[in-house]
Amino acid sequence: MPAALGSMNGWVDVGRGLVSREIFVTDEVYRMEMERIFDRTWVFLAHETEIPTAGDYVSRTLGSAPVIVVRDADGMLHGLLNSCRHRGAKICRADSGNARNFVCPYHGWTYEMSGRLVTTTFDKHFPKDFDFSLHGLARVPRLETHKGLIFGSWNADVVPLEDYLGDIAWYIDPFLARTQQGMEVLAPPHRWRAKSNWKVGALNFVGDSQHILTTHVGPLTLDPVRAARAGFATAAENSFQVVTDQGHGCTLTYLAPGLPEDAYQTHPRDLEPLYAKLLSADQFQLLKRLRVIVGTIFPNLSFIETQVGPAQKAVIVRQWQPVSGTEMEVFSWVVAEKEASTDYKSQVLRKGFHNFGAAGVFEQDDMELWASATYASNNPVAKQLPYSFHTALPYINAPEKDHKWPGRAFKPADTEVAQLEFMRQWDRCMKAGV
């Protein structure tokens, strides 16, 4: 066997820009992640517009547990373990629906939308001291929203969601909450399995500018929107990555200086004034001449806004749900401003998933390469060789001094700083859990 590159200091060696392969391919690490990250921190569950009316619910996963996210008659949101307190059957076996109460299909235990047990259908046979109030569906102890995004946590003591999001909120709001009425999901999420570790997706979106020209040469060559415009490389000089203290990050790529702005770089003209009303002047400035923003909220929620036509921007919300050490399920929503016209919504939906979705022209190549990396790394010889994050090293201790916006900014955009910072946060969580 080849000699490993010296002994690493743990799984993530930020100082040397090395990350163990082991953590991208082993089920044991996946199980530890479930305990130390996914059961302790905030995890995205759903968008509020997926369950707009009373009784609407979606079935999702929080950590490794199936949960129901439901809106009750008073408009309150609840997160419930999707497993009957009697004998464990799944209460909601559909992906989504509308209910007045939840009746277990196995023996008939019936719950309110808050999870409270109403009847077992055999109440008369229960001991007199049986306390119904203690036998409701297990509630997700913390459920909070940030401008339409519903997060849950199994950790009752987790910090408030706004504190957890921290500085990244300043960067996601101009894309996920920029008009008075907010964004809405345009269709159910695309869902697919990928034979790849979930962190590969999270890293790809937090700031992997280096894969774009090689992995995505196809769509970059063929897409008239992109092909007609200045290349990615020329724009990199005034683009940057942002890293926040919580390990969240994003990469913003701007139109190269000197190139005239035209319809291919602009947001919809009729919606822009609405952004200006809601966003701060600096947040509005962030949008100008922006070509692409892509980012990840630790651990597994990502988003991207990209140009899909003249004055058309598709905003995609993406979740990398771990399934095992070597597999994930991807959820992908296209969202748009509620105020946008029906025609605009249908266009950005169609063009959005043409690029980024279950059959996306970008996704098909990503998924193939991520699966191949997972396969090729999952053997004793390869596992001794850490992944390289070396291009972070010359920059990671040198954030932009004159960055006037939240978080730490790093230039240029095409280094691995945000990815290594993501891994640093991952390592912190894993160690804190010991």
Partner 1 sequence: MNPAEWHPVDDATYLQIQRFLFREAALLDRRDYAGWLALTADDIRYRVNAMVSRDAGVAEVDYAIVDEDRLGLKSRIDQISNPRLTRAENPPSMTRRVVSNIEAYDGASAEQFQANSYLLAYRSRPSLPEGGFYVAERRDVLRRTAAGWRLARRDVHLDQVILFDGALSTLL
What single-letter DSSP state applies at residue 35? I
Taking the C-alpha atoms of residue 220 and residue 232, their distance in angstroms, rounded to an integer, is 9
Q: Which two tokens stand for residue 385?
A: 């060789």
Q: Which of 300, 297, 295, 330 minimizes the C-alpha distance to 315?
A: 295
Measured from the CB atom, is 192 or 395 closer to partner 1? 192
Least separation in angstroms between CB 353 and partner 1: 6
Chain contacts with partner 1 (rule: CB under 8 A): 93-98, 187-188, 190-195, 215, 217-219, 221-223, 329, 350, 353-354, 357-361, 363-372, 375
Taking the C-alpha atoms of residue 59 and residue 418, their distance in angstroms, rounded to an integer, is 32
Given a contact cutoff of 8 angstroms between Cβ atoms, the answer to whether 260 and 189 are in contact is no
Least separation in angstroms between CB 293 and partner 1: 22
Taking the C-alpha atoms of residue 221 and residue 213, their distance in angstroms, rounded to an integer, is 10
Least separation in angstroms between CB 196 and partner 1: 8
Measured from the CB atom, is 204 or 425 closer to partner 1? 204
Least separation in angstroms between CB 161 and partner 1: 28
Q: Which two tokens stand for residue 51?
A: 């369950």
Given a contact cutoff of 8 angstroms between Cβ atoms, the answer to whether 337 and 178 are in contact is yes
CA–CA distances in Å: residue 155 to residues 37, 143, 277: 10, 10, 36
Measured from the CB atom, is 373 or 392 closer to partner 1? 373
Measured from the CB atom, is 57 or 387 closer to partner 1? 57
Least separation in angstroms between CB 142 and partner 1: 27
Which residues on adjacent β-strands are paired with residue 262? Answer: none
Least separation in angstroms between CB 197 and partner 1: 14
Count, residues in the chain: 434
Measured from the CB atom, is 68 or 367 closer to partner 1? 367
206 alpha-carbon distance from chain centroid:
10
In the block, tokens 């373990």 appear at: 81
In the block, tokens 């040198």 appear at: 398
Least separation in angstroms between CB 205 and partner 1: 15
What single-letter DSSP state applies at residue 266? -
Output phi, psi for 288, to 5 deg: -70, 130
Measured from the CB atom, is 109 or 254 closer to partner 1? 109
Measured from the CB atom, is 59 or 283 closer to partner 1? 59
Which residues on adjacent β-strands are paired with residue 153? Answer: 142
In the block, tokens 């990840």 appear at: 296
The one-letter code for the residue type at 323 is: V
Measured from the CB atom, is 97 or 399 closer to partner 1? 97
Measured from the CB atom, is 375 or 405 closer to partner 1? 375
Least separation in angstroms between CB 373 and partner 1: 9
CA–CA distances in Å: residue 292 to residues 148, 171, 286: 22, 13, 11
Least separation in angstroms between CB 367 and partner 1: 3
